[in-house]
Structure 1
Amino acid sequence: MSDTQPNGHVEWALRPELPAEAREAAHGFLAGLSPEPSEHTSQNLVLLVSELVTNAIRHAGEVTSLHLRADRRSLQIVVHDPSPAPPQDRTPDLTGRTGGFGWPMILRLAEKVTVLPRPEGGKTIRAVLTR
């Protein structure tokens, strides 16, 4: 799951079936970093992981893979899913039935978000935080 490379980069890769598994992995990933990111950055990373995985499961049916990466300057969350459809902004449902809050929150929390199609099908969403 974890790989520390000679250049100081750290990467975790997994295929969570539930958002709770992804949050647990995010906490483990953060605990293994030295120095650890600030509490604020750590909370944002866990929220981003949870929302990206939840959205992939809800809208694409599954997470093909989740990668958590760290280098000296940034933390990256990379989620692959089987759907080629890009995320859509929706009017949030204030009754709580259909959501609509996750994607705007992802865009607010991350410093950079990219959505790219994958050659083999599906898409990759990458969210970056400054470490």
Structure 2
Amino acid sequence: MSTTRPCSPGDRGPEAGDGAASAVSARSVTPVDGVTPVDDASPAPAPVGRQARTLSLAGESGVVPLARDFARQALYAWGWLPAASADRRAAAEDVLLVVSELVTNACLHAEGPDELRISCDNKVLRIEVSDRGAGQPAPRTPHRAGRPGGHGMFIVQRLCLDWGVVRAPGVTGKTVWAELGAPA
């Protein structure tokens, strides 16, 4: 599903000295897997079992870059970055793109995201974005590649193994989730 791309800024590691990203990590990150986000560029071992991280986005500004930085830190902690090959780099970039698309959709169509959760095992990485919106995300049909806007869920559909929406009965809002295959 991924295409090979040249090295991007997302593959250069956590930004050293980026106080904003470090402050957000220390303030609102909940490492469910017991791993604290890393600040160095050394690769971590591959995850054993299911690991998860949660970032609260409710009331934050600049949530798309916050979410991407959070996802990038998780990818480093779980050994997806730094990427040793073009395929691994493309897989990590796909994760960052899907995070951006899901969080952006929550901003545009659902009063903003409440929470980002990323979980991973050795085969699948799952991204979940919770919001208070009532709408139902769907790729625009027919997809018109030449027109601006409306490509988010089409991109998610193309890059992911699967995606969907979960709603809790009697509660306003939803969780949009997407799953990507772990790099080989």
* Matches of 1:107 and 1:130, distance apart in 2: 13
Give per-residue Cα distances to partners, 1:12-53, cap 9 Å, x unaligned: 101234101001111101000036572121111000000000
Give per-residue Cα distances to partners, 1:59-85, cap 9 Å, x unaligned: 001111110001121100011111121
2:49 maps to 1:8: yes
**What's the counterpart of residue 47 of structure 1?**
97
**SS of 1:128 mapped into structure 2:** strand
Match of 2:70 among 9, 19, 25: 25
Does the 8 Å CA contact 2:133/2:174 hold for their aligned counterparts? yes
Partner amino acid for 1:12? R
Does the 8 Å CA contact 1:57/1:63 hold for their aligned counterparts? yes
Larger radius of gyration: 2
2:79 maps to 1:34: yes
Match of 2:178 among 113, 122, 127: 127
Unaligned runs of 5+ in 1: none
Give the Å deviation of 1:54. 0.3
Unaligned runs of 5+ in 2: 1-28, 35-47
Q: How many correspondences in the alignment?
A: 129
Distance 1:122 1:32, change over 3 A: same
Partner amino acid for 2:166? L
**SS of 1:4 mapped into structure 2:** coil
* Matches of 2:78 and 2:176, distance apart in 1: 23
Does the 8 Å CA contact 2:139/2:152 hold for their aligned counterparts? no
TM-score normalised by the chain length of structure 2: 0.63
Does the 8 Å CA contact 1:84/1:117 hold for their aligned counterparts? no
| Greater strand content | 1
